[in-house]
Amino acid sequence: MVAGGDGMARDDAGRVVFVTGALPSEQVRAEVQEQKRDFAKATTIEVLRSSRERVAPPCSFVAEGCGGCDWQHIGAPAQRRFKADIVQDALRRQARIELEVSVGAELPAVGHRTTVRGAAEGGRFGFRHRRSHDLVPVSPCLVAHPLIDELIVDGRFPDGEVILRAGARTGERLAIVASHDGLSLPEGVRVVTAPELRAGTRAWYHEELAGRRWRISARSFFQARPDGAEALVAAVAAALEGALRPDAHLVDLYGGVGLLAGAAAPVGHVTLVESGASSIADARVNLADLDARILKSDVARWRPARADAVIADPPRVGLGAAGVAAVVATHAPRVALVSCDPASLGRDAKVLTAAGYELQTATLVDLFPHTSHVEVVTRFDRA
């Protein structure tokens, strides 16, 4: 299995072929859909000899082409093992680092997602078809939290993009839609349109986790399940263990609404750096009781300050050269890096290692069961 969720095979000439829907040790009949000089992409048409890890997808909409969950054909325990293997392989190939990856805590695989992004057509919510923009109506959704699934099943929406968000522990719900035309939702759901947001309308909901209450605006990123957010916080806290004194200075890069700094290490002085305006506004509310300096800035333009530890939770592209430079300039002896793509982790680990840091631990946090999405927390110590 490789990053992105496909199985990797080779053709008779030795060229790599990425096969969607195939598992290691299987023999499949696959249709080649794209060919390049160095690789090809194919889709499984028929499984001729199946892996012991293959299961019947628990959601019927997979057969209709729903692209929301790409790994439902893999048993839940095997999904986490495959993800850990993918991370290990990325570290080995890109950073020349051999390290065992902990599979982390097991999280419920159904009824957990408190944020879903899809679209509506003819009033019904759906997810995009695999490899196309066509919609597959889903009702109910296997992985949606009940507060969200009620909106998917009973709601009626105007045609266009739809984002549904909920606080699992507060009961608050927020719907972001294209317009108010033809909209029908239960009472108490906060509704805001995309044009209203562009015009400056503010809308948010709240979630409770790690002993704190969090404000999350419509445009702000937040983990799509509170138990997963707590697992992520726990992994970051474990990576920082022993590195923070009561008066320590913690730098939180790409800090979002303040979750990791506020929950994983709420001690000493915090400097949070974030470029998103709505996330900055939320962080100032969420961390108001802490000694925290909230800075609206791109990490690449931030003037680094000396720190005792750094948390970095970059977007999918990873830290990159500019992000690593910012981390190194803090002279922090400990770094907790959160990566949501194994390839970007491999690249970042290579550059951090070259800059004088050593990778100590890597822990998988399986926030999105039934998908190939990988989230991993790594600990780096200055050599």
User: Can you tell me the distance from the alpha carbon of 280 to that of 168, in angstroms, rounded to the nearest whole number?
Assistant: 23
How many CA atoms does the CB half-sphere of 198 hold within 13 Å? 6
**What band does 33 get if pLDDT is binned at 50, 70 and 90?**
very high
Provide the pLDDT for residue 281.
Answer: 98
Check: pTM over 0.85? Answer yes or no. yes
In a shared domain, residues 34 and 136 = no
* Set 59, 66, 69, 340: catalytic member: 340
User: Can you tell me the distance from the alpha carbon of 133 to that of 127, in angstroms, rounded to the nearest whole number?
Assistant: 9
Q: Is the pLDDT of residue 306 over 90?
A: yes
Per-residue pLDDT of 53-98, as tens digits, reads 999 999 999 989 898 999 999 998 899 999 999 999 999 999 999 9
C-alpha to C-alpha distances, 130 to 70, 112, 149, nearest whole angstrom: 9, 22, 21
In a shared domain, residues 149 and 183 = yes
In a shared domain, residues 126 and 103 = no
**336 beta partners:** 311, 379
Q: Is the pLDDT of residue 22 over 90?
A: yes
User: Can you tell me the distance from the alpha carbon of 364 to that of 211, in angstroms, rounded to the nearest whole number?
Assistant: 23
CB proximity list for 74: less than 8 A, separation 6 or greater:
23, 53, 54, 55, 82
Mean pLDDT value across residues 316-325: 96
Structure token digits, residue 15: 């060229």
360, part of any domain: yes
Q: Would residue 340 show up in a list of annotated catalytic residues for this protein?
A: yes
CB 350 within 8 A of CB 95: yes
Per-residue pLDDT of 167-197, as tens digits, reads 999 999 999 999 999 999 999 999 999 999 9
**What band does 336 get if pLDDT is binned at 50, 70 and 90?**
very high
63, part of any domain: no
Provide the pLDDT for residue 105.
Answer: 85
Structure token digits, residue 159: 């045609």
**What band does 264 get if pLDDT is binned at 50, 70 and 90?**
confident
Average pLDDT of the chain is 95
In a shared domain, residues 132 and 163 = yes
User: Can you tell me the distance from the alpha carbon of 131 to that of 124, in angstroms, rounded to the nearest whole number?
Assistant: 20
The residue range of the domain holding 31 is: 1-54
User: Can you tell me the distance from the alpha carbon of 140 to that of 142, in angstroms, rounded to the nearest whole number?
Assistant: 7
Provide the pLDDT for residue 245.
Answer: 87
- Domain count within the chain: 3
Per-residue pLDDT of 204-235, as tens digits, reads 999 999 999 999 999 999 999 999 999 999 99
For the CA atoms of 241, 242, 247, 248, the dihedral, rounded to the nearest 10 degrees, stands at: -70
C-alpha to C-alpha distances, 368 to 6, 100, 238, 349, 353, nearest whole angstrom: 16, 21, 21, 23, 29
365, part of any domain: yes
In a shared domain, residues 238 and 89 = yes
**Above pLDDT 90, what percent of the chain?**
92
CB 272 within 8 A of CB 281: no
**Nearest 5 degrees, angle CA 310-CA 313-CA 318?**
110
In a shared domain, residues 27 and 171 = no
In a shared domain, residues 125 and 179 = yes
Q: Is the pLDDT of residue 377 over 80?
A: yes
In a shared domain, residues 36 and 131 = no
213, part of any domain: no
User: Can you tell me the distance from the alpha carbon of 148 to that of 138, in angstroms, rounded to the nearest whole number?
Assistant: 12
User: Can you tell me the distance from the alpha carbon of 49 to that of 38, in angstroms, rounded to the nearest whole number?
Assistant: 27
User: Any idea which residue has 């900055």 for tokens?
Assistant: 280
Per-residue pLDDT of 124-158, as tens digits, reads 999 998 778 899 999 999 999 999 999 999 999 99
